Amino acid sequence: MLFSYNWLKDYLKGKTPTPQKLAEILTRHSFEVESVVKKGNDFVLDIDVLSNRAPDCLSHLGIAREIAAILNSELQSPDSKFKEDKKLKARNFVSIEVKNKADCPRYSAKVISGVRVKSAPGWIQERLRACGLQPINNIVDITNYVMLETGQPIHAFDLDKVGKKIVVRRARKGERIKALDDKTYNLDGDILVIADSKRPIAIAGIKGGERTGIDSKTKKIVVEAANFNQKVVRQGSKKLKLRTDASWRFENGLTPELVDLAQERVAFLIQKIAEGKVAQGLVDFYPKKILPKKINLDLNYVERLLGIKVSKNKVKNILQKLGFKVTETRPPQLKVEVPTRRLDISIQEDLIEEIGRIIGFQNIPSIFPQAALISPKKNEELFWQRNIKNILKEAGFSEVYNYSFMGDKEKGIFGRRKHNLIELANPMSSFNKYLRPSLISNLLRNIKDNLKYFDQIKLFELGKVFIKKQNLWERKMLTGILTREGIKDEGFYELKGIVDSLLAKLGIADVWYDDYRQTPEYSEAEIWHPQKSAEIKSNGEEIGFLGEIHPKVTEILDIKERVFVFDVSFEKLLKLASEEQVYQPISAYPAAIRDLAILVPQGTKVVEILNKMNIGGGKLVRDIDLFDVYSGEGIPQGKENFAFHIIYQARDRTLSSKEIDKVHQRITETLEENPAWEVRR
């Protein structure tokens, strides 16, 4: 809200700090001052009043009260003594009917007759303009002025246009009102209105109606100062998409007690400026008077919570300056009566905040807590997360953080198990209609974007995906992606090597790869290449997938290269990972290496050959390495040549070449049990 510096000064006794200084003080003790701008011979302060303080501080008096408390000076109340005309009785002019007191806890009307509508004096106009309001005429300007002064929204009706009865009720469906902004609003039962005997004359707490507005001919006015239910006003304002200075104040809550001061000030100013005669009495519907809350404040707790000792007198002084009444009971207790305007205060801690901020949080020293020496608990998940990220980084992969969403386009491509997608009720745009069910879609987008600048790309992400099972299923995945210019099948083996070494470093043994068998029902929307993808398994369980992305998918996404992906459940990795490691003694006896080449029909799996070799070799074979796969020239059609290094070693002796020959021979024989296989000599 915009505040006039000169106006604030009216309420402050003694010397007021410069506008800049004032802004600084308010920022430290009350609210952030966003700007200070010179306007004529005044300064305008834009103060960001916190929402919980709207009830008492969206007003010049409220801010002045803050300043007085911070500076420990006195607040000067504005004059509100006016004369009532005993011959005129307000209740003879107007009566009030409130249909539901929950919607409207208070409604007051003051009648002033014989007003002369003209322009307001310059000083009122200037102040309104400083606060961003347009002057209209003296009556309307005074109501606005008093709102900016006290925080209480006020409305003035032309009494001759209203008739004798004012009704506060919900609008009926189909009712309409033309408001002072010249727009017509369609009303319904969610909206509270002020009505005469027939029609709505104002939208309660939001905007006045055009028909009963003040004009140059107006002689008699009725001044409304009321209190409307904050939820009702909020709901109405949202529904009509109409936010006003009044609705803003009601939405955040106001005390019905504020009505009295506002009515007095309006009467005082109108009498002074527009020469009206104030009818005697206030027509007031106020069935349940609001009484101040009382809170016990424990001075020891003040010290314990702030960490600084504040004397009893200081506490009393701060609270009194802010308008609280303080009485001493049994030390260290104080009884504090809360002014009704302070809707934000209901417990001790709220009072302690008042004390803390007026002293200034910057004046509280920094003291390290005295707490038991408990070492932090190791977070296993985080530990492995850090490890995994480091391993992949060392392997040349860069980490990305993608959005947790997926749009319609990806839904088309990744729409497998469409019914498992989680949809947002209120997406921002078509790009984030769904929660991502997989990290792959966004990683593919990264590939496409980066291929413009890089000819080799290795990325990974570790993050949450969301799938609908019976309930929502939020789980963490680890996904890596690899491509480069002209990449072929070696991409698969490269990525497989990465997965192998990752799993090995996580202490996960017993890993194997099975052909990925897609279920026919999903094959239409499959993202994996049907012949070039595998299930990664460990400990009898599938932990993820590895393979090439279906060419159809890369085509739709306009990715020119082949793309390889591993997609692993982080949670399963976590379960299997182990820090335990046992040292394997190094054999003191030399190892011997023999090579073996074998000719097999194309399509034979290496794992089949290795299995046979291990069966034949027994425990003297320490390791077998595949070092070459070849087909083509010199190899018969339909055959493939695999070449292995076999490493022989015993724990307890040097193997003689005779011994090794024997085992090597056994391996050869075992392999050739398959008539289609031929060990080359």
Which residues, 457 to 486, sit near another protein by CB under 8 A? Answer: 457-460, 463-464, 466, 472, 474
Which one, 95 or 402, has the nearer CB to another protein? 402
* Total of chain residues touching another protein, rule CB under 8 A: 89
Which one, 359 or 503, has the nearer CB to another protein? 359
Out of 2, 242, 299, 305, point to the residue binding another protein (CB under 8 A).
305
Which one, 15 or 378, has the nearer CB to another protein? 378
d(CA 10, CA 429) in angstroms, rounded, equals 51
Structure tokens, 256? 């019905």
Note whether 450 binds another protein by CB under 8 A.
yes
Nearest to 540 by CA among 504, 508, 507, 501: 508
d(CA 528, CA 653) in angstroms, rounded, equals 49
Whether the CB-CB separation of 135 and 124 falls below 8 Å is answered with yes
Q: Find the shortest distance in angstroms from Cβ 179 to another protein.
A: 23
Residue at token pair 């005074």: 142
Out of 25, 290, 400, 557, point to the residue binding another protein (CB under 8 A).
400
Other beta carbons within 10 Å of 358 = 21
Window contacting another protein (CB under 8 A); options: 81-89, 380-388, 591-599, 617-625 = 380-388
d(CA 319, CA 352) in angstroms, rounded, equals 10
Q: By three-state DSSP, how is residue 341 classified?
A: coil
Note whether 300 binds another protein by CB under 8 A.
no
Nearest to 37 by CA among 75, 84, 4, 67: 4
Note whether 21 binds another protein by CB under 8 A.
no
Window contacting another protein (CB under 8 A); options: 71-79, 189-197, 212-220, 435-443 = 435-443
Out of 25, 395, 574, 647, point to the residue binding another protein (CB under 8 A).
395
Note whether 627 binds another protein by CB under 8 A.
no
Note whether 389 binds another protein by CB under 8 A.
yes
Helices 312-321 and 348-359, axial angle in degrees (round to 10):
90
Window contacting another protein (CB under 8 A); options: 128-136, 214-222, 416-424, 547-555 = 416-424
Q: Find the shortest distance in angstroms from Cβ 1 to another protein.
A: 15
Binding mask 515-554 for another protein (x = CB under 8 A): ----------------------------------------
Other beta carbons within 10 Å of 113 = 17
Helix (H) or strand (E) holding 110, with range, is strand 106-113
Out of 31, 317, 333, 668, point to the residue binding another protein (CB under 8 A).
31
Does the bond joining 332 to the residue before it have cis omega, within 30 degrees of 0?
yes
Note whether 382 binds another protein by CB under 8 A.
yes
Which residues, 200 to 239, sit near another protein by CB under 8 A? Answer: 230-231, 234
Note whether 512 binds another protein by CB under 8 A.
no
Out of 74, 328, 394, 514, point to the residue binding another protein (CB under 8 A).
394
Note whether 557 binds another protein by CB under 8 A.
no
d(CA 263, CA 269) in angstroms, rounded, equals 10
Structure tokens, 17? 């700090």
316 burial type by CB count under 10 A (0-12 exposed, 13-18 middle, 19+ buried)? middle
Q: Find the shortest distance in angstroms from Cβ 373 to another protein.
A: 7
Note whether 583 binds another protein by CB under 8 A.
no
Which one, 123 or 454, has the nearer CB to another protein? 454
Which residues, 35 to 64, sit near another protein by CB under 8 A? Answer: 50-53
Residue at token pair 């339909």: 638
Which one, 24 or 500, has the nearer CB to another protein? 24
Whether the CB-CB separation of 243 and 237 falls below 8 Å is answered with yes
Note whether 367 binds another protein by CB under 8 A.
yes
Window contacting another protein (CB under 8 A); options: 154-162, 346-354, 590-598, 644-652 = 346-354
Bridge partners of 623? 647
**For residue 187, how far is the Cα from the chain centroid?**
33
Q: Find the shortest distance in angstroms from Cβ 558 to another protein.
A: 16
Helix (H) or strand (E) holding 642, with range, is strand 639-648
Those residues whose C-beta lies under 8 Å from the C-beta of residue 612, and which sit 6 or more positions away, are: 667, 670, 671, 673, 674
